[in-house]
Chain A
Amino acid sequence: MSGTINRDRQAQVADISFGLMGLIGVIGLVADSFDTTPSPAYAPDPWLTGIAAAALMIVIALVVTRLSSLDRKRSEEYTFQIMANAAVVSIMTSLIVSFAWSNDLLLGRWLGEPSLNQVQALMLGSWSIGYFTYRARGTGL
């Protein structure tokens, strides 16, 4: 029965992690709205900025892909599936909301441009909501 304890514990750790992520997402969204600190200036060379950002994206994406495949082997498959489903919800929500938010014809005229922190908080919060929605549908919490 030791397997049960470990797998159930994994599921509980996922629940707690996603609960905290949701909390951080909501707090981050609200708190960043009060932050009036101006953004730091961009790097003077646009080529350097573009190449550095592209290189960072490629390296981090490869590292995360590698780590997530390890995670898939080790984590409980049901928990992993709802985490993955919720990640799709998070990406789609972040894309749609940030588009609507930054577009002057939509919410942008009232809310202004979303900050990077707010987009990140949006991703965390929507991932958490997606996770618990799938969790509730699957097992009734």
Chain B
Amino acid sequence: MKNRLRVLRAEREWSQAELAGRLDVSRQAINAIETGKHDPSLPLAFRISRLFDMPIEDIFEFSED
């Protein structure tokens, strides 16, 4: 699963720790999601979508890889 989390975070000039705080996850979780090593759960994906005020499919792109 690809995602635009790093770009969206950078646009808002948030650090990984700041984004983690807003989503109530650890900084390691944000790092792992941004690098594509971890796919967030559905509830967390919805929290991300709500935080950036964007549809989930505009943040995450499904791929078979």
Contact = CB atoms under 8 A, between A and B. Distances in A.
A1 interface: yes
A-side binding surface: helix, strand, loop or mixed?
Answer: helix
Interface residues of B, number: 19
A68 interface: no
Interface stretch (A36-44, A48-56, A77-85): A77-85
A138 B31 contact: yes
Given A76-B25, A139-B31, A8 B20 contact: yes
Contacts of A76: 25-26, 29
Contacts of A7: 20, 24-27, 29
Contacts of B24: 3, 7
Given A4-B20, A137-B37, A79 B26 contact: yes
A11 B26 contact: yes
Contacts of B18: 1, 4
Contacts of B37: 137-139
Contact of B41 (A4, A77, A140): A77
A78 B20 contact: no
Interface of B: 17-18, 20-21, 24-29, 31-33, 35, 37-38, 40-41, 44
Interface of A: 1-4, 7-8, 10-11, 76-79, 81, 135, 137-140
7 shortest A-B CB distances, which residue pairs? Answer: A78-B29, A4-B21, A7-B26, A138-B32, A3-B24, A1-B21, A138-B37
